[in-house]
Structure 1
Amino acid sequence: MPRLADVVTQTFRSISPDALTERLFRDPLARWWQTYQEKLEASGYDGAVQGAFFISSFAAMGHVAKCDGRVKSVEIELATQVMDHLDLTSEQRQLAIRLFNEGKHEDFTLETLLWRFKRQCSHRVSVVQVFIEIQLKMAYADASLNDRESKLIKRMCKRLDVSDSIYTRIERRVRAEKKVANQPIASVSKKVFSLSDSYEMLGVNRWANQEQVKQAYRRMMSKFHPDKLVAKGASEVEVVEAHDIVHDIKNAYEMLIKSKRMQ
């Protein structure tokens, strides 16, 4: 009776290297992605990065909208607003709608979509951040960010190498824009800062002494104080953002000063 190891070895020898690679690393979205790329190019929406952004954004929006059970009218309205903002043609809008609907399917391979998007756009940091911003806007379309939506978007950030600090910055901007537009938005519990969060917030390292922490605190407060931003002609959105930033600066400062006193 042949040994199992011999059988396995013989099986792999019977498969060519190219066939083995295809079986192990087959991309389930390859043909699907290529079809949409070709349709976009035919519609005049040209460029690999632009196409990757288009395909990934609308499919992911559908996935985010559906992740809490059903797609709401405000989420469809937001998707329409994104189409308007991109100034899509009738043909391109139909492609966007199809992508949105396909993204809603439970068996949609989001991980592969993110992998493809990252491969095409990771060198374009601003494009990746706009992608996350659009998904956050979709999640907040119904005023609140529920646990499922939060976990899903943070998973996207992890797959796309978007740091926690960048995610926080984008979310803060999304919430500020909704407040300025007088759109409903649920309150969220303030972030509980860790020591590493606090060091990053104030821009100091772990070896900074109390005086250096105080100097960093004053510098950050001067930079983001809402009244000073108003005097400099900052937008209403930037001022609303500043109120949240100032709150975080104070929390970070209090935590670091307490930590330094205990050392």
Structure 2
Amino acid sequence: MFWPLTLLGALAGLLLASIPGALLGGLLGQVLDRRLQLRSWADLRLRMGGKPVLGEQELLFVLLGRLAKSGGAVRPAHIQQAREEMRRMQLDGPAQQRAVEAFNRGKTLADDVRRSLQPLRGQNVAAEGLLCACWRLVWAAGQVPPPARELILAWGQWLGWRRAAVLALEAPYVRRASGVVRSADAELEALRLLGVSSEASPAQIKQAYRRLLSRHHPDKLAGAGAGAARLREATEITSELHRAYALLRQRRSLR
């Protein structure tokens, strides 16, 4: 481990007041290194980059947004899983709105996530929670695109985790190796996609389907002047909603 401010403080102290100055400067530098969690020159450069470090909650949803977009198009399963994380964290209305904004911003690649991950190095509980949430999101859609896996592995490295340790966190979320989804799993996936529980009534399922369809329908976005990429994304989301509802109509004899 290398402490950049410790070295700079010691050198400055040596120039100003010989050996006693070097000892004092090194001590003060080490205090700053520990407080700022600087372990290398790269850490120091990131700290001096000018962009603010994101808080843990904001950082989480920026990462989730980036993962959701890494496969090309954000899928309804990704959006629903992000909502699940909000519920898991018991976020209130304003906090949920900030989370949505962070998720959308994550899709734009605007934030320097590496700089924001650096303060969490050594905080194993916080880092593990962050990485597990990332694995939950990418597996929510049933498969993990290679770019998404590489992102999570890179983030784990920036957090100071070994590759094997990051991959070990994925294990609880991995689907069956054959990729075959059982019938019961398909129904649960459809319910989760619509944002309703397994105990939902036919009326609740239909209401959730219509609400999501209205929100994501490409015709609605076209009237609002959305771009081509957003329209393609909306078309894919709408298709998944149709498939989920069709499966539930068949399994639950919905009218």
TM-score w.r.t. the length of structure 2 is 0.49
Q: TM-score, normalised by structure 1?
A: 0.47
